[in-house]
C-alpha cells in the first residue's frame, strides 16, 4: 500500500516536470533574441510619437504603456501588443506601416494612429 503511494507521487512529479519542460519550449513567439526595445506610450487618444523608426531585421521587445485609458496597439502585419504588455517582434520587412489602437477606447479611437517605419 505504501509502495503504491510512493509510486504515484513519483509519477505526479515526473508528469509535472514534463509539463514544465514542454511549456518552456513552446513559449517564445520568435526564435531570435531581442536586441533592443521599442517603447510606445498611449494616452487618450494618441501615441507618444507620430513615427516610430526601426531597423529592418531587428528583433525588439515592443512594449505598450497605457498612461491614460486602456489601449492596445496593432503594428500592421507584425502583430498586436496588449495594454501594458510587451512582446518580441522581428521587423523582417522594410516599409511604412500603420500603427493603430486595437482596443475600442472611446471618442478618439478611430484617429489614434501613428507610423511605423522599417528601414
Ligand atoms: Cu482605441
Residue 14's pLDDT is what? Answer: 61
Identify any residues that bridge with 54 across adjacent strands, giving them in sequence order.
118
**What is the CA(97)–ligand 1 centre distance, in A?**
17
Residue 17's pLDDT is what? Answer: 56
Residue 83's pLDDT is what? Answer: 97
Which residues of the chain register pLDDT less than 70? 1-2, 4-30
Length of the chain: 119
**What is the CA(86)–ligand 1 centre distance, in A?**
17
**What is the CA(49)–ligand 1 centre distance, in A?**
16
- Residues 56 and 61: their CA atoms lie apart, in Å, by 14
Count of C-beta atoms within a 10 Å radius of residue 62: 26
Whether the CB-CB separation of 47 and 40 falls below 8 Å is answered with yes
Could you tell me what percent of the chain has a pLDDT over 70? 76
- Residues 74 and 47: their CA atoms lie apart, in Å, by 12
Environment class of residue 54 by beta-carbon count within 10 Å: exposed (0-12), middle (13-18) or buried (19+)? buried
Residue 26's pLDDT is what? Answer: 46
Q: pTM of whole model > 0.85?
A: no
Which one-letter DSSP state was computed for residue 33?
P
And the C-alpha cell for 11?
A: 509519477
Which one-letter DSSP state was computed for residue 30?
S
Q: Cell 510619437, residue?
A: 49
Amino acid at each position: 500500500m505504501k509502495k503504491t503511494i510512493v509510486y504515484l507521487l513519483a509519477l505526479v512529479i515526473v508528469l509535472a516536470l514534463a509539463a514544465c519542460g514542454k511549456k518552456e519550449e513552446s513559449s517564445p513567439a520568435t526564435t531570435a533574441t531581442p536586441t533592443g526595445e521599442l517603447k510606445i506610450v498611449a494616452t487618450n487618444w494618441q501615441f507618444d510619437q507620430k513615427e516610430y523608426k526601426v531597423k529592418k531585421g531587428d528583433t525588439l521587445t515592443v512594449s505598450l504603456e497605457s498612461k491614460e485609458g486602456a489601449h492596445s496597439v496593432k503594428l500592421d502585419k507584425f502583430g498586436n501588443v496588449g495594454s501594458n504588455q510587451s512582446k518580441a517582434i522581428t521587423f523582417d520587412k522594410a516599409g511604412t506601416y500603420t500603427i493603430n489602437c486595437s482596443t475600442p477606447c472611446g471618442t478618439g479611437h478611430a484617429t489614434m494612429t501613428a507610423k511605423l517605419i522599417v528601414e
